[in-house]
């Protein structure tokens, strides 16, 4: 296991959709160990594989003292009539938090390392995490979901950090 370096906005791996995991092998097992170890720090709610430079569909989470992972996650349900608009941040966009519109509830289906179906669901922070991490795997950052004026402000702040 290894604590992996987080890729920062501007790295092309963050904008590239991740490939499905087709075979569970030692490489995938090692990826999951690294995802779990790297997300297991204060202030980290979720971590997608491409955030550590691996273009495979997997992410880990660390919400309410529960740490877990899912392979090949797909969002299968979000609340249609309940939303949340709280500030959202990202390890790949360090130090910046912006109001991001997300569904209040989300459910993801994927698999575990044994190929068994995994269902992960939740409200509020967990729902935000599930949506955020699946976005990463699709090559999106939360910045893409910001209102135009807020996104403009965020992009200016990112340029100032570089």
Q: Is residue 2 part of a domain?
A: no
Domain count, the chain: 1
Quick check: is 88 catalytic?
no
Residue 119 CA to residue 33 CA, distance in Å, equals 19
Q: Tell me the whole-structure pTM to 2 decimals.
A: 0.95
List the catalytic residue out of 5, 88, 124, 133: 133
Task: Calculate what percentage of the chain has a pLDDT beyond 90.
Answer: 94
Q: What integer pLDDT is reported at residue 62 of this predicted model?
A: 97
Residue 64 lies in a domain: yes
What pLDDT does 155 receive?
Answer: 95
Q: What is the pLDDT of residues 30-88, one digit of tens each?
A: 999 999 999 999 889 999 999 999 999 999 999 998 999 999 999 999 999 999 999 99
Closest to 53 (Cα-Cα) out of 81, 21, 15: 15
Per-residue confidence at 162, pLDDT binned at 50, 70, 90?
Answer: confident
Per the annotation, binding residues are 90, 132, 136
For residue 1, the model assigns a pLDDT of 60
Instruction: Provide the CATH number for the domain around residue 49.
Output: 3.90.45.10
Residues contributing to the annotated binding site for Fe cation = 90, 132, 136
- Mapped to the 3 state alphabet, what secondary structure does the chain carry? CCCCCCCCCCCHHHHCCCECCCCCCHHHHHHHHHHHHHHCCCCCCEEEHHHHCCCECEEEEEECCEEEEEEEEEEEEECCCCEECCEEEECCEEEEEEECCEECEEEEEEECCCCCEEEEEEEHHHHHHHHHHHHHHCCCCHHHHCCHHHHHHHHHHHHHHC
Judge whether 75 lies within some domain.
Answer: yes
Residue 158 tokens, joined? 């990112």
pLDDT (mean) for 131-135: 98
Range of the domain at 120: 12-161
Mean pLDDT of all residues in 105-111: 98
| 7 domain residue, yes or no | no
């Amino acid at each position: 296991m290894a604590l992996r370096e987080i890729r920062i906005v501007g790295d092309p791996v963050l904008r590239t959709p991740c490939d499905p995991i087709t075979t569970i092998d030692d490489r995938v097992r090692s990826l999951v160990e690294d995802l779990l170890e790297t997300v297991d720090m204060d202030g980290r709610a979720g971590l997608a594989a491409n955030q550590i430079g691996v273009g495979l569909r997997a992410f880990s989470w660390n919400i309410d003292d529960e740490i877990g992972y899912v392979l090949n996650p797909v969002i299968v349900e979000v609340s249609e009539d309940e939303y949340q608009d709280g500030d959202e941040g990202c390890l790949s966009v360090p130090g910046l938090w912006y109001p991001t519109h997300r569904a209040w509830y989300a459910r993801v289906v994927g698999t575990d390392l044994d190929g068994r179906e995994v269902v992960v669901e939740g409200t509020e922070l967990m729902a935000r995490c599930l949506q955020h991490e699946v976005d990463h795997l699709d090559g999106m950052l939360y910045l893409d979901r910001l209102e135009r004026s807020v996104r403009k402000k965020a992009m200016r702040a990112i340029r100032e950090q570089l």
